[in-house]
Amino acid sequence: MSRFLATLTAVSIGVFLTLFNTGGSLAREEVGLQVSPTVISPTIAAGDETRETVVLHNLSGRALGIRAKVELSGVEGGGVTAGVEPAEMTIAAGESVPVSVRVAAGREAVAGRVDGTILFLAAPAREQDVSIAGQVGVNLEIEVIVPVDQTIFHTPHLVDAGSPILFTVAGRNNGRFPTRMAGGMEYSGLLARDRKLSAGSGELAVGESTSMRLVWADTPAFSLGRVTLFIDTGVGAPVEHKAWLIIAPWRFLLALAAVSLAAAAGMFASAGVANVLPPNWRKGQ
């Protein structure tokens, strides 16, 4: 009799555990979330941005709350950022939702490869259940290019009033296709109106260089301002060079140079006298 009771007790406990585990698995209903495509491979120029679209599919029988998380690795293409819009959303059962992926490269980004991952974390849309129930991912394979390299900029800094000014911009086509380049000059200063000049090249093969000359003929009688030279292909941010420019009569420039030399000589002489004086004299004792 005692053996029968022991057997009955063991069977009862086994049935209870089986029911408990079955109930637990049913409570943890499988989350059916899919994303397409699973790989994004954009090519982006420094100073530019691009947008791609992925689609999330909720294949489960319940609404899901989704939160996006972006991770980038590698420093070859420094200055690259990626984001998802919207970063959080709720997807109803059986619904598909497009999501925008924005990839941007800063003006100072360097050519190279940047890898990353976009994780979409899914949880039941009920407020009382915040545990992560599943996730899907999209691989990012970003190629950063710098369309113009080996740039050369030439600008004078002191110019006699009334004399033409020659600027030079040069660069090499470092892109993926034959292209044309544009060069330009922008001036903004005191006692003179702003001025812009532009020039263009013929079609350049990949790896081919060009040099463009810009001439400012009708210079003002006097001005002090800032010059910006630039060259670009129309893709990404232009490569720029900034410098100061003084336009004045040559007598004024000569006097300015003399004053600068005198000031430099005075500083040098003061330093020399201080070095030959006794230490207590230098301290004013």
What CATH number is attached to the domain comprising 218?
2.60.40.10
SS3 253: helix
On whether residue 243 sits in a domain, the answer given is yes
Parallel, antiparallel, or unpaired: how do β-strands 239-248 and 158-160 relate?
A: parallel
Residue that the structure tokens 């006699």 belong to: 160
CB contact at 8 A, 215 and 166: yes
Same domain, 48 and 116: yes
d(CA 175, CA 169) in angstroms, rounded, equals 18
Higher pLDDT, 270 or 13: 270
Which residues are CB-contacts of 7 (< 8 A; sequence separation ≥ 6)? none
On whether residue 172 sits in a domain, the answer given is yes
On whether residue 184 sits in a domain, the answer given is yes
Give pLDDT tens digits for 5-50: 444 444 343 433 333 343 333 233 455 889 999 999 999 999 999 9
Same domain, 119 and 178: no
Residue 69 has pLDDT above 80, yes or no: yes
Residue 128 has pLDDT above 70, yes or no: no
On whether residue 227 sits in a domain, the answer given is yes
Bridge partners (DSSP) of residue 197 are: 185
Residue 274 has pLDDT above 60, yes or no: no
| Predicted local distance difference test score (pLDDT) of residue 268 | 61
Residue 102 has pLDDT above 90, yes or no: yes
On whether residue 264 sits in a domain, the answer given is no
Domain range for 113 is: 30-125+132-145
Report pTM.
0.68
d(CA 248, CA 158) in angstroms, rounded, equals 8
Mean pLDDT of 180-189: 96
pLDDT more than 90, % of the chain: 57
On whether residue 282 sits in a domain, the answer given is no
Q: Give the pLDDT band (50/70/90) at residue 278.
A: low
- Which candidate, 27, 40, 28, 37, places its Cα nearest to that of 57? 37
d(CA 21, CA 88) in angstroms, rounded, equals 33
Total domains in the chain come to 2
Same domain, 137 and 161: no
Same domain, 181 and 118: no
CB contact at 8 A, 26 and 129: no
On whether residue 115 sits in a domain, the answer given is yes
Same domain, 110 and 167: no
SS3 25: helix
On whether residue 238 sits in a domain, the answer given is yes
- Which candidate, 107, 108, 216, places its Cα nearest to that of 155? 216
Same domain, 118 and 35: yes
